Amino acid sequence: MGTRTWIAGIALVATAAATGLTALAVAGTAEASSSSYSLATQTLPDGRRVVARWNPCQTITYKVNPTLAAGTASQRSAAVRDVQAAFTRAAAATGMTFRYAGTTTQVPTGSTWYAQQTTAEIVVAWVNPAKTGYKSSLLGRSGTSYTAGTGGYAYKFWKSGSAPWTGATGRGFVVLNAQQNSKFTAGFGTGSTRGELLLHEIGHSLGLNHVGATSQTMYPTILSRSTTAGYGSGDRTGLTKLGATQGCISVPGFVWSDLS
Ligand SMILES: [Zn+2]
């Protein structure tokens, strides 16, 4: 039996008022979850339950705060490369475009974390519950201990006149617990790797929930198992259902500003 490290997901809903605006939209369709993938959903004000997804036709930018990722500059650079490699895998699975926008000193935290993200749609940051300036209220807990990481998204919905309500995810975050860095091997491959942790939390930021199948990256604990690099087959099915094949969502600029 290998290491079991708890990781958590979080979702956050925010409404946005709309007046006098016509937005073309493809509403998400509620999908039954299976044991190998599970899609996050949101309930619109009219009662419809829809899949919570990004507009897959926009470029999604991300920044990385690697300050606490490792002890040396070259190791921190390797951590950033792992983040980039994880997004490359997410892009392949979703058909979406992710663009690295550089490093940041930002630490996602607080109930309005998404409003702080004005230079990149997604921020990936290593945090430390015991270090001033690096604490994040978003880092999940399992009992009395903190999880290895948490990923989440912010979703807003809107309507105009008699048009139906629609919604879209517009911001995401990944916080990784630097106190548990030593539990993870850099890169991707077999065992408990930083790459797999990143894939899991990025999966949450894109709209994947936990699953019961231990073979999948979205299983709620990282298992020290032999895996090939990248998402599992169920994870990829879920990501396909969140991605480009589902069509664009036209998101009004007042709801989510496109930062690409
Ligand atoms: Zn999780």
Ligand 1 center from residue 17 Cα (angstroms): 31
- How far apart CA 120 and CA 103 sit, in angstroms, is 10
Three-class secondary structure of residue 233 per DSSP: helix
Ligand 1 center from residue 164 Cα (angstroms): 32
Range of the domain at 187: 4-239
Q: How confident is the model at residue 142 (pLDDT cuts 50, 70, 90)?
A: confident
Ligand 1 center from residue 169 Cα (angstroms): 18
Ligand 1 center from residue 211 Cα (angstroms): 9
Ligand 1 center from residue 151 Cα (angstroms): 7
pLDDT digits 0-9 by tens, 66-80: 999 999 999 999 999
Q: How many domains does the structure of the chain reveal?
A: 1
Residue 245 lies inside a defined structural domain of this protein: no
Question: Domain with 76 in it: what CATH number?
Answer: 3.40.390.10
Q: Who has greater pLDDT, 24 or 174? A: 174
Q: Who has greater pLDDT, 83 or 158? A: 83
Ligand 1 center from residue 39 Cα (angstroms): 12
pLDDT digits 0-9 by tens, 164-199: 888 999 999 999 999 999 999 999 988 889 999 999
Residue 255 lies inside a defined structural domain of this protein: no
Ligand 1 center from residue 196 Cα (angstroms): 11
Count other Cβ atoms within 10 Å, centred on residue 83.
23
- Dihedral Cα 236, 239, 245, 248, nearest 10 deg: -160
- How far apart CA 84 and CA 37 sit, in angstroms, is 23
- How far apart CA 228 and CA 92 sit, in angstroms, is 15
Read off the pTM: 0.88
